[in-house]
Amino acid sequence: MEDTSEEILQKQRDILYAKTIPERFQIGAEAIDFGRSLVISNIRSNNPCISEIDLKIEILKRYYGNFFKPVELEKIIQSILSMYRSLENNSFEHDDSSELYEHHRFEVDKGQATLRIDKYLSDRIGHVSRTKIQSAAQAGNILVDNCPVKSNYKVKPLEIISVVLPFPPRETEIIPQNIPVNIIYEDNDIIVVNKGAGMIVHPGYGNDNGTLVNALYWHLKDNPLFESGEIRAGLVHRLDKDTTGLMVVAKTEYALNHLAKQFFERAAGRRYIALIWGTFDIGSGTITGHIGRNLKDRRIMAVFPDGSYGKAAVTHYTVLEKLGYVSLLECKLETGRTHQIRAHLAYIRHPVFNDQVYGGSQIIKGTTFSKYKQFVDNCFKILPRQALHAKTISFIHPVTKKLMNFDSELPSDMQQVIDKWRNYITGRKNVFI
């Protein structure tokens, strides 16, 4: 019978303790290099992502004779997992309110000695500094048995610790660029922008400049948060390149942690407007189904209604207007998965109008007349992207604690296409009665 990972660790622990510190650092470097090659190999394949548990066990088995003390081993594994999530998250384009925070949960060992919680967490979360953890505590993001605690709190055996942190930083050289940004609100703590079509939110694979973050580094060049080289500075959520609408960005570490917690707890409200193919017999509804990367094409997302893969996702929609062969919807996200609105609507066979990834760039509903085809093609030319706009956003201000509500107008290209559909059905009322 093959040993479990815990048995392997127990058997080989003494071997490592006999090694010198330089040798142990070398082993750690080799483990991280191995993790990197394993991650990249997996991401480049068309297979589903290896789970984090499987990755941990694989690392343990690979280093059968080279293990660390539990805390040291956890730091190495967390470093690899951080890289795993980072590579997995940035190898492909993200959109539709993919959120930029992470959640950790720990149960304190029954033999744990008295220790400050910031020290306890920094020992267990390899990529986060003690200062970052203290900022999270200040924002109320560290809970012990569901109660917020300060950074000097002393952990006790068997307590349950929950912590929400901004996404692990990825530092690189960010070039500040004087790119126009539509800022609709700004104070000392936050900035709310109305992102235009064609703008990527932050640098990533193949997109080193021209992003919203490059523009913010210019606009906020005297702000310490935007001097670090962090590619996601101030971000707690994002929109994809061709989805327009409102985003909130933090200007301080405290605001970043406070907003991250709101997005994690679904306390921040966002409503989207989507023009979609087809009509509904009901005025509102809910779409449920796990969302994960398509098992054949990892560049796109798929819905797994049986929950066999991906993460749970819930999208609520309300029909605002029926426009013949298309409809105008308001969508509210209960969860924040990559491509959630687009994937869910495609799953129920109502893809977003002109969504080239999820089948909306074809004529799904309507007639076979050439004039109709020409009409739709003209709409596609006016709106050469998916018809999706993040219209409203609401959240509690990190410092004043006041409810902040922001609304935005539909972008002109989307409004023009909606007006064209209204005019189209006006002359054909008898057809759409």
Structure letter (DSSP) for residue 204: B
Q: Of the candidates 320, 388, 332, which has an alpha carbon nearest to the alpha carbon of residue 355?
A: 388
The label of the residue with tokens 């200007």 reads: 251
Crossing angle of the two packed helices 21-44 and 70-90, in degrees rounded to 10: 30
Q: How far apart are CA 244 and CA 84, in angstroms?
A: 29
Listed residue (77, 151, 146, 78) closest to 120, CA to CA: 151
CB 116 within 8 A of CB 154: yes
Q: Which of 240, 242, 377, 413 is catalytic?
A: 240
Half-sphere exposure of 40 (CA within 13 A, CB side): 6
In angstroms, the CA 302 to CA 424 distance is 33
Distance CA(310)–CA(291), nearest Å, equals: 5
Of 142, 144, 141, the closest CA to residue 155 belongs to 144
* CA dist., res. 195 & res. 201, Å (int): 8
Which residue is it, tokens 């989805």? 243
**One-letter identity of residue 386:** Q
Please, are residues 348 and 285 in contact by the beta-carbon 8 Å criterion? no
- Strand-pairing partners, residue 311, are 291
Per DSSP, what are the bridge partners of residue 270? 393
What 3-state class would DSSP assign to 53? helix
Task: Look up 240 and say whether it is catalytic.
Answer: yes
The tokens for 266 are 């679904």
Tokens of 346: 């495609």
Looking only at the bridges linking them, the beta strands covering 160-166 and 101-107 are: antiparallel
Contacts of 300 (CB under 8 A, 6+ apart): 293, 294, 339, 343, 357, 358
Give the catalytic positions in this structure: 240
